Amino acid sequence: MTVGGYRVRILRRATLPGWEAALFSVLALGVGLFLFGFVFLFAGASPMQAYQEIFRYAFFNANGIPLTMSRFIFLALSTYAFIVPFRAGEWNIGMTGQIYMGGLAAYAVVYAFGGKVSKDVPLNPALVLPLMVLAAALGGALMGGIAGYLKGRWDVNEIVVTMMLNFIAFWLVSHMIKDGGPFMNVGGRGEGFTLPTSLRAPTVLGMPFTILFVLVLAGALEFLFARTSLGYQIRAAGLSSKAARYAGMDTTRISLWVFLLGGGIAGLAAYHYFAAVPGVYKIPRNYGEFGDLAFFGIICGLIALGNPLATLPVALLFGGLSIGGRYAQGKLHLGFGVDYALMGVLMITLVAFQFFYRYRIVVEPLAPEPRPSGTPAPSDLASYGGE
């Protein structure tokens, strides 16, 4: 393609430096937010005002900040649940199902200790709390492990499997908390029973202590991928399973491990949202919306390029966007689901930007066409398709 006296060429990249990849991620975010401005315009709101409302509420408002932080913790954990298998080249879109199973497992512990009867049952938090966390992680890990095992053992498509497991877990939660299910609220409303006040999670600087999971995991996962033999094997398997097998790595076990780990982290996200966030403390009726929020983890993971440390700012931003988006929706009288739409637009922009990971655009001055040496220069018989 030529423009003026220049030739614009699209060339495949041999390599992409890390900083450039990060730059494209940031650019994609910016372009996505810009494009989403049209959704606001279309809905009759000013994009500038909308973004102002979103950011002001999410990051500078006493009511908004705790919500943003809780959402941030949830999203960061969901993102980790996505990126651990992702680094091994596998798609975990089953965070949702793993979260449901983690939530059920955590409440199963409370149920076993008799905490269903009333929210005033005095239970020993030093004993029950750790068990709840453990159970949540185990529940999520088991759910993830199914997909990981099937992927590793028989190469069963993990996207379809994790999605199917999402629906299975979704209905299992309904079974447990609705229509007289064992975890149903004593009041008979179709939602889970309330966590006894004695088991409410401690806070750190006004935030649920689950923030510690996020921070510890950020460091631990970074160390895992950058320095350890297991992390090395996960990355190798992700780039080329054939080469990994050749080098003697057990790809079946790697597949199982990453899904166990990812699922376990999703379980922690479940504990966080269903048992540690002030104001919830139960499996609510609209648990499906909580579960679907986990899909934000896919976008955060892709933008963060699978990097656990980069996940922190990205998840914080997305946490703010989704909380602020919901607020702006009410304030500016927009339809339900602004946050979902934002997720969709950011995702598709991000996909489009993948182009730049593979190609670069080169603009160079046009060289004059050389004259071929020797032989006659006969008629241009077959020149179709023009210069």
Partner 1 sequence: MTRRSKHTSFDPDAFWADIQPGEVLLSARGITKQYPGGVLANDRIDFEVRAQEVHAVLGENGAGKTTLMNILFGLIQPDQGAIYLRGQRVHFRSPQDAIRYGIGMVHQHRKLVPAHSVIENILLGHPRAQGILRLREAEEEVAALAETYGFRVDLRAKVWQLTEGEKQVVEILKALYRGAHILIMDEPTSALTPVETEKLLESIERMSEHKLGVVPFITHKLPVVLRISHRVTVLRSGRVAASLDTQDADEQRLAELMVGRPVLFDVQKPPAQEGEPVVQVEGVSARSDKGNLALDNVSFTVRSGQILGVAGVAGNGQHELAEVLAGLRGVEQGRILLNGQEITRAPVLARWQQGVGYTPAERTEVGSIGEFTLVENVAMNYFWDPDYNRHGVLDEAKLRELTEQILEEFRVAAPGPHVKAKTLSGGNLQKVIMGRVLSRRPRLLIANLPAQGLDIGATEFVQQKLLEARAEGAAVIFISEDLDEILMLSDVVAPMYEGRVVDLIPADQADKETIGAMIAGSYQQQEGTP
Partner 2 sequence: MLPFILRSLEAAMIFTFAGLGELVNQRGGILNVGLEGIMLFGATLGFVAAQTTESYLVGFLVGVLVGGLLGLLHGVFSISLGVDQVVSGMGIWIFSFGMTTYIGSPFTGPLGMERLPTVLGISPFFYVAVLLAVGIWFVLTKTSLGLAIRSVGETPDVAEVSGIHVARLRYLCVVVGGMLAGFAGALYALYYNPVWNYNFLMGWGFISLALVFFSMWNPFLLFGGALLFGLLWQLSLNPELLLPGLFSRYIWRMVPFAVTVLVLVFISTDWFRARWGATRPQALGQPYHRE
Residue 276 CB contacts under 8 Å (≥ 6 apart), including other chains: 200, 201, 208, 209, 210
CB of 236 or CB of 314, closer to partner 1: 236
Is position 298 an interface residue for partner 2 (rule: CB under 8 A)?
yes
CA distances from 346 to 318, 328, 376 (A): 10, 18, 58
Measured CA to CA, the distance from residue 179 to residue 65 in angstroms comes to: 36
Is position 247 an interface residue for partner 1 (rule: CB under 8 A)?
yes
CB of 180 or CB of 374, closer to partner 1: 374
Alpha-carbon dihedral sign for residues 211, 101, 141, 118: positive
Measured CA to CA, the distance from residue 330 to residue 212 in angstroms comes to: 32
Selected range binding partner 1 among 33-41, 68-76, 344-352, 371-379, rule: CB under 8 A: 371-379
- Other CB atoms within a 10 A radius of the CB of residue 235 amount to 17
* The entry of partner 1, partner 2, none that residue 212 binds, CB within 5 to 8 Å by partner kind: none
| Identity of the amino acid at 236 | A
Is position 157 an interface residue for partner 2 (rule: CB under 8 A)?
yes
- Check: CB of residue 79 under 8 Å from CB of residue 301: yes
**One residue of 164, 186, 215, 361 binding partner 2 per CB under 8 A:** 164
CB of 112 or CB of 362, closer to partner 1: 362
CB of 9 or CB of 358, closer to partner 2: 358
Is position 358 an interface residue for partner 2 (rule: CB under 8 A)?
yes
Is position 224 an interface residue for partner 2 (rule: CB under 8 A)?
no
> Pick from 379, 342, 354: which is nearest to 37 by CA?
342
Is position 305 an interface residue for partner 2 (rule: CB under 8 A)?
no
- Check: CB of residue 110 under 8 Å from CB of residue 116: yes
Quick note: the x/- pattern for partner 2 over 253-292, rule CB under 8 A, is -----------------------------------xx--x
**One residue of 171, 246, 336, 359 binding partner 1 per CB under 8 A:** 246
CB of 62 or CB of 382, closer to partner 1: 382
Q: Which two tokens stand for residue 263?
A: 């699922």
**One residue of 15, 19, 44, 180 binding partner 1 per CB under 8 A:** 15
> Pick from 97, 120, 283: which is nearest to 190 by CA?
283
Measured CA to CA, the distance from residue 209 to residue 125 in angstroms comes to: 14
Measured CA to CA, the distance from residue 10 to residue 319 in angstroms comes to: 36
* The entry of partner 2, partner 1, none that residue 167 binds, CB within 5 to 8 Å by partner kind: partner 2
Element (H, E) at 95: helix 95-112
Quick note: the x/- pattern for partner 2 over 87-126, rule CB under 8 A, is ----x-x---------------------------------
DSSP state of 385: S
Selected range binding partner 1 among 22-30, 95-103, 349-357, 368-376, rule: CB under 8 A: 368-376
Write out the binding residues for partner 2, residues 31-70 only, by CB under 8 A.
39
Alpha helices in 113-157 (DSSP H): 125-154
- Site residues (CB under 8 A) for partner 2? 12, 39, 91, 93, 150, 154-157, 159-161, 163-168, 171-172, 174-175, 178-179, 181, 288-289, 292, 295, 298-299, 302, 335-338, 340-345, 347-348, 350-352, 354-355, 358-359
